[in-house]
Amino acid sequence: MDRFGRVATDLRVSLTDRCNLRCTYCMPAEGLDWLRDDRVLTDAEIVRLIAIAVDLLGVDEIRFTGGEPLLRKGLEGIVAATTALRTADGRSPQTALTTNGLGLARRSAGLAAAGLGRVNVSLDTLRRDRFLTITHRDRLEDVLAGASAASAAGLGPIKINAVLLRGINDDEAPDLLRWALGAGYQLRFIEQMPLDAQGAWDRSVMITAEEILDKLGREFELRPHDTDARGAAPAETWRVTDGEHSGVVGIIASVTRPFCGTCDRARLTADGQIRDCLFATAETDLRQMLRDGATDEQLADVWRAAMWGKRAGHGMDDPGFLRPSRPMSAIGG
């Protein structure tokens, strides 16, 4: 719990800072200085910290992310160990994976067998040339195959995360939505945030939720969905139909419609740091404690203290706002 009464029951675990794509809004084409192997938590260390979160801190939802979490060979084992845990009310924690989809076609069955709940696949365009421009890799077909395999393996409802970039794919919102409705996926647009490693984000250029709604509203009828039941969900959602298929579309408007007041998230980085917010400027190191022989109770106490200090909001509009010193790929998106 923090000073404002928010309880962090949703833990985002970054399994690696590495990635096999180079999305322009996330990292430079040449990649980044990746964490040294000895700084990255082992599978056993990750599982121990997740167990502390579930057993001692009330966490009941775990999302695996990165970097690209499918680059982690032990992912299936980590998922299986997580789903074997029990929350205070005796349930298996809910689990989800956020991935760029590369290699997902091959691993979906194994992930489902390990007990994984749901998958979010990130995809910003359905056009091969644009996919190459945005990610610097020619892998659109692999992503589509990954989403489809995950759906077939029962890892749905599949959510598709899309970031719109002005002049690159911002005319594609209706096409992405028609495709998602037809495939039975739930599309969610994410406002571009100042979390790229290059520091290139520009508020005056980013595509806002209002603009996305306007683009969609010209071709679809949108009806607010679940407004009372939104809870801590980052996405605002609308029911939508294209005449043939109906479904739900969401917008995660972290910049223009922040939802910090209901945030229930905590983050564990691949190198064992607790972050109370994507935009936190400080981290709490659990890795050294873990390797120095701390008990579960000692680790839980330090983790509790870290969350207590969470600020009321990300403060992006404050004059003194500082971008976090690590990019999204290292924090865990």
Q: Would you tell me which residues interact with ligand SAM (CB under 6 A)? A: 19, 25-26, 65-66, 68, 98-100, 122, 161, 163, 190, 192-193, 195-196, 328-329, 333
Provide CB contacts within 8 A for 86, sequence distance 6+.
54, 92
In this complex, which beta carbon is closest to ligand SAM, that of residue 25 or of residue 303? 25
Cis peptide before 157 (omega within 30 of 0): yes
- Which tokens sit at 235? 């996405």
Min dist CB 244 to ligand SAM, Å, is: 27
The footprint of ligand SF4 on residues 18-47 (CB under 6 A) is 19, 21-23, 26-27
Rounded Cα–Cα distance for residues 315 and 117 (Å): 33
Residue 68 contacts ligand SF4 per CB under 6 A: yes
Min dist CB 333 to ligand SAM, Å, is: 3
In this complex, which beta carbon is closest to ligand SAM, that of residue 52 or of residue 237? 237
The pairing of strands 273-275 and 284-285 is: antiparallel
Helix or strand run (H / E) with residue 113: helix 104-113
Q: Helix 43-57 and helix 75-83: axis angle, to 10°?
A: 20
Rounded Cα–Cα distance for residues 157 and 44 (Å): 29
Min dist CB 66 to ligand SF4, Å, is: 6
If binding means CB under 6 A, how many residues of this protein chain bind ligand SF4?
12
In this complex, which beta carbon is closest to ligand SAM, that of residue 100 or of residue 125? 100
Q: For 19, left (φ over 0), alpha (ψ -120 to 50), or beta? A: beta
In this complex, which beta carbon is closest to ligand SF4, that of residue 9 or of residue 122? 122
Min dist CB 140 to ligand SF4, Å, is: 13
Min dist CB 193 to ligand SF4, Å, is: 11
In this complex, which beta carbon is closest to ligand SAM, that of residue 8 or of residue 253? 253
Q: Which of ligand SAM, ligand SF4, none interacts with 27 (beta carbon under 5 to 8 A by kind)? A: ligand SF4
Rounded Cα–Cα distance for residues 147 and 145 (Å): 6
Q: Which of ligand SAM, ligand SF4, none interacts with 22 (beta carbon under 5 to 8 A by kind)? A: ligand SF4
Coil, helix or strand for 176? helix
Which segment (15-23, 106-114, 166-174, 200-208) binds ligand SF4 by CB under 6 A?
Answer: 15-23
Looking up tokens 């298929």 gives 245
**φ, ψ (nearest 5 deg) of residue 99:** -145, 160
Q: How many CB atoms lie within 10 A of CB 293?
A: 7
Looking up tokens 């005796």 gives 90
In this complex, which beta carbon is closest to ligand SAM, that of residue 300 or of residue 328? 328
Min dist CB 223 to ligand SAM, Å, is: 25
> At 107, which amino acid appears?
R
Q: 252 and 314 in contact (C-beta within 8 Å)?
A: no
Min dist CB 298 to ligand SF4, Å, is: 32
| CA 175, 64, 313, 248 torsion-angle sign | positive
Min dist CB 238 to ligand SAM, Å, is: 19
Q: Which of ligand SF4, ligand SAM, none interacts with 186 (beta carbon under 5 to 8 A by kind)? A: none
Site string for ligand SF4, 90-119 (x = CB under 6 A): ----------x-------------------
Max intra-chain CA distance, the chain:
60
Looking up tokens 């029962």 gives 154
Binding site for ligand SF4 (CB under 6 A): 19, 21-23, 26-27, 66-68, 100, 122, 329
